[in-house]
Amino acid sequence: MTQVKTAKFTIIKDHICKMIESGEWLQHSKVPSENVLAEQFSVSRMTARRALQELTEQGLLVRTQGAGTFVATFKSQSSLLEIRNIADEIQDRGHQHHAQQIELIAVDVNHELAILLGLKEGENVYYSEVLHFENNEPIQLEQRYVNPKLVPDYLQQNFADITPHEYLSSEAPLTEATNEVEAVLANHETCSHLLIDSTTPCLQVKRRTWSSKGVVSLAILTAPGDKYRLGSHLVF
Amino acid sequence: MTQVKTAKFTIIKDHICKMIESGEWLQHSKVPSENVLAEQFSVSRMTARRALQELTEQGLLVRTQGAGTFVATFKSQSSLLEIRNIADEIQDRGHQHHAQQIELIAVDVNHELAILLGLKEGENVYYSEVLHFENNEPIQLEQRYVNPKLVPDYLQQNFADITPHEYLSSEAPLTEATNEVEAVLANHETCSHLLIDSTTPCLQVKRRTWSSKGVVSLAILTAPGDKYRLGSHLVF
DNA sequence: TCGCAATAGTTGTATATACAACTATTGACA
DNA sequence: TGTCAATAGTTGTATATACAACTATTGCGA
């Protein structure tokens, strides 16, 4: 039985949490200042400050320079959903996962794609289709358009051998992404890949990834609604 | 033209970001230690530390006590989707929103609900149905089950007058929530509310909210896939 | 060569201090 | 009474310092 020493600032955080949870400190009410907390708990101001700061980052408190620290309103908190890699998702369920490359070609972008990728019509992109399986049952179709200009050189040179995983890791860590989740009916081709009929509702995630130089890739993930769902568990 | 003074730690952050973005510092590679950065930028260790710490919170770096600070892998970053209140969503699109209470009754929980809400079969919950409109067109059906034991007293006493908004604000700030997003076909009743036919794919969000004392509420939001989508724009 | 203790280096926690930047109140003056 | 400057209080930034906790390497001894 090892005794874990608790850091001082976490003691203060716990105290504040309890006061809010118990209803003693209501929404919008003022929280003791850094100096007051420091004296109350016999710590330095910087330690008390850290407790307030971390709770602010968690969205529990709101701070205004010069005015003070206040208990946040419920409304100021947003709900976040985590979109996980389907391979990890399947693995966590204890099932078998494998992926099959169906298509991997270079294509000219049409008008619609040009807009989505920020390219000119007729320019060249890499297009790939990868089908994911859970216990040998098709579960997600992944369609991906990649801007070849923004992919590292070593991937461009032997394009035919790029695995889906390399696509992902080719995206630099400093990127932005736009995600959109929709419920749709899949087109005929997608249906045949996923072994579903055209009335099955599907979850579709469209993700565009940007680097500082432009749109890197557009990924379209389609999965039958009864087999895949997005989930999250959050603590406010 | 006011000159905004930039804090020292943001200068260091920007520098580190640039090194990663330009590819000079690759994934997994070691970042200069707090002491080295402090000397390089002629600041105190605590200032350099703050830069590293904030970038770690943003998921750009990974730190290990005793070992050092390293550039994070793309994989260690997760994609988050924001689920917004539909009223706010509609307002941001510049459209008209209004909500209509269809049903508001106390019901006994059946077996399925009992499991979802952590109650015993036959216990009492509040059930409400609220239909949301965008430009007078039905866009989302909100079904909500609320555990009356965990709702503040003042809401219990005049239950018939509770508005949907009060439901939300009755949830204490210190809660957990489990979200699940699915693509489904709506049942007959929901279809008639939303004026859609039974083949229209719908986005369905199931949200369970917990406080420290148990499950507070279960909310089921259903919206036609062609009218509503979840979206996000993130910067990693 | 193997095992292990010592050690240098790194991050984590905590304190004391100083000044800057901002807010809200107080109080004097017109 | 109304306006505005002074002021007290609060958060934001920055420094210097000390020690704790942990990691990985170095090098000694068997």
Reported as a pLDDT band with limits 50, 70 and 90, residue A114 is confident
Between residues A162 and A9, which one has the greater pLDDT? A9
CA of B53 and C1' of C7: distance in angstroms? 27
CA distance A234 to chain B (A): 5
A121-168 tens-digit pLDDT: 888 888 888 888 888 889 999 888 887 776 555 455 555 455 444 554
Residues 6+ apart with CB under 8 A from A48: A9, A12, A34, A35, A37, A38, A41
Which pLDDT score, from 0 to 100, does residue B74 have? 55
Report whether pLDDT(A50) > 90.
yes
The reported pLDDT for the residue numbered A3 is 44
Question: HSE on the CB side for A149, CA within 13 Å?
Answer: 12
Cβ distance of B177 and A60 shorter than 8 Å: no
Top mean-pLDDT range of A171-180, A211-220, B47-56, B101-110: B47-56
Taking CB atoms and an 8 Å cutoff, what residues of chain A touch B60?
Answer: 173-174
pLDDT confidence band for A191 (50 / 70 / 90): very high
- Report the nucleotide nearest the CA of residue B10, measured to C1': D13
Would you state the pLDDT for residue A80? 65
Do B21 and B129 lie in a common domain?
Answer: no
Q: Which two tokens stand for residue A70?
A: 């206040």
More confident residue, B88 or B236: B88
Query: In CATH, what number is assigned to the domain containing residue A63?
Result: 1.10.10.10
**C25: residue with closest CA to C1':** A67
- Mean pLDDT, to the nearest integer, of A99-123? 81
Residue in B closest to A19 by C-alpha: B174
Same domain for A208 and A98, yes or no, is yes
Question: Are residues B184 and B110 located together in one domain of the fold?
Answer: yes
Q: Are residues A69 and A91 in the same domain?
A: no
Q: Is B37 in the same domain as B152?
A: no
Please report the pLDDT score of residue A33 as a whole number: 96
DSSP per-residue string spanning B136-173: TEEEEEEEEEE-GGGS-HHHHHTGGG--HHHHHHHS-S
Q: For residues B13 and B36, what is the distance between their CA atoms, to the nearest angstrom?
A: 14
A56 shares its domain with A141 = no
Specify the range with the lowest mean pLDDT, choosing from A4-8, A163-167, A194-198, B47-51.
A163-167
What own/partner pairs with CB < 8 Å and gap ≥ 24 does B52-55 have? B52/B16, B54/B9, B54/B13, B55/B13, B55/B16, B55/B17
End-to-end CA gap in chain B:
31
* Residue range A187-202: mean pLDDT, rounded: 92
pLDDT band at B177 (very low <50, low <70, confident <90, very high): low
Q: Give contacts of B207 with chain A, Cβ < 8 Å.
A: 79
Q: Which of B76, B102, B134 lies at the terminal end of a domain, its last residue? A: B76
- Given CA atoms A32, A36, A40, A45 in this order, what sign does their dihedral have? positive
Examine the pLDDT at A85 and tell me if it is beyond 90.
Answer: no
Q: Which residues put CB within 7 Å of chain C, the nucleic strand? A: A 7-9, 42-47, 64-67; B 5, 31, 33-36, 46, 49, 52-53, 63-69
Domain boundary, last residue among B27, B52, B76: B76
User: B167 and B112, same structural domain?
Assistant: yes
Band of pLDDT at residue B164, cut at 50, 70 and 90: very low
Number of domains present in the structure of chain A = 2
Q: What would the pLDDT profile of B35-44 be if each residue is shown by its tens digit?
A: 999 999 999 9
Which residues of chain B have a CB within 8 Å of the CB of A230?
Answer: 81, 179-181
For residue B73, pLDDT over 90 is answered with no
Q: Tell whether B164 lies on the interface with A, counting CB pairs under 8 A.
A: no
Q: Tell me whether residue B232 is in a domain.
A: no
How sure is the predictor about B78, in pLDDT bands with cuts at 50, 70 and 90?
Answer: low
Q: Same domain, yes or no, for B71 and B92?
A: no
A118 phi/psi in degrees, rounded to 5: 70, 35
Q: In sequence order, what are the beta bridge partners of B142?
A: B130, B221
- Predicted local confidence at residue A123, as pLDDT: 83
Average pLDDT over residues A211-215: 66
Residue B209 has a pLDDT of 75
Distance to chain A for B180, nearest Cα, Å: 4
Mean pLDDT computed over A14-32: 86
Give the per-residue pLDDT at A156. Answer: 54
Is A3 a member of any domain?
A: no
Q: What residue of A is the nearest CA neighbor of B27?
A: A173
Which helix (H) or strand (E) is A54 found in, with range? helix A45-57
B179 and B201 both lie in a single domain: yes
Which band of pLDDT confidence, cut at 50, 70 and 90, is reported for residue A232? low
* Residue, of B144 and A63, whose pLDDT is higher: A63
pTM above 0.90, yes or no: no
Residues A160 and A204 both lie in one domain: yes
Q: Residue B207 belongs to a domain with what CATH number?
A: 3.40.1410.10
Instruction: For residue B24, give its domain range.
Output: 8-76
pLDDT (0 to 100) of residue B4: 57
**Chain B window 9-48: which residues touch A at a Cβ cutoff of 8 Å?**
17, 20-21, 23, 27
B177 found inside a domain = yes
- Rounded to a whole number, what is the distance in Å from the CA of B120 to chain A's nearest CA? 23
Confidence class of residue A66 from pLDDT cuts 50, 70 and 90?
A: very high
Contact A173 B202 (CB under 8 A): no
A-chain residues near B180 (CB < 8 A): 229-231
Pick B207 or B213 by higher pLDDT: B207
Residue ending a domain, choose from A76, A101, A122: A76
Distance from CA of B73 to the nearest CA of A (A): 7
- Helix ranges (H only) for B68-204 are 86-92, 111-117, 153-157, 164-170, 188-194
* d(C-alpha B105, C-alpha B147), whole Å: 13
Which pLDDT band, with edges at 50, 70 and 90, does A201 fall under? very high
Distance, Å, A70 CA → D4 C1': 29
In a domain, B230, yes or no: no
pLDDT over 50 at B236, yes or no: no
**B168, B186: one domain:** yes
Write the residue in B80, B231, B236 that is nearest to A80 by C-beta. B80
Better-scored residue on pLDDT, B165 or B190: B190
In a domain, A2, yes or no: no
Tens-digit pLDDT profile for residues A216-229: 778 888 999 877 77
ipTM: 0.68
Residues of B in contact with A184 (CB under 8 A): 183, 201, 225
Q: Report which residue is nearest nucleotide C11 when distances run from CA to C1'.
A: B65
A21 contacts B172? CB cut-off 8 A: yes
Least confident of A46-50, A109-113, B29-33: A109-113
Please report whether residue B102 resides in a domain.
Answer: yes
> What tokens does A104 get?
């991997």
Task: Write down the residue that tokens 């389907």 correspond to.
Answer: A86
| Statement to judge: residues B217 and B101 lie in one domain | yes
Q: Is the distance from CB of B223 to CB of B196 less than 8 angstroms? A: no
Quick one: pLDDT band at residue B165, thresholds 50, 70, 90? very low
A216 part of a folded domain = yes
Q: Give the pair of three-digit tokens for residue A145.
A: 């358009």
| A227 to chain B, closest Cα gap in Å | 9
Looking at the predicted structure, is the pLDDT value of residue B85 above 80? no
- How much is the pLDDT for A235? 46
* CA B111 – CA A71 distance, rounded (Å): 38
Q: Does a structural domain hold residue A16?
A: yes
Given the DSSP bridges, would you call strands A230-235 and B61-64 parallel, antiparallel or unpaired?
Answer: unpaired
Beta strands at A176-185 and B230-235: parallel, antiparallel or unpaired: antiparallel
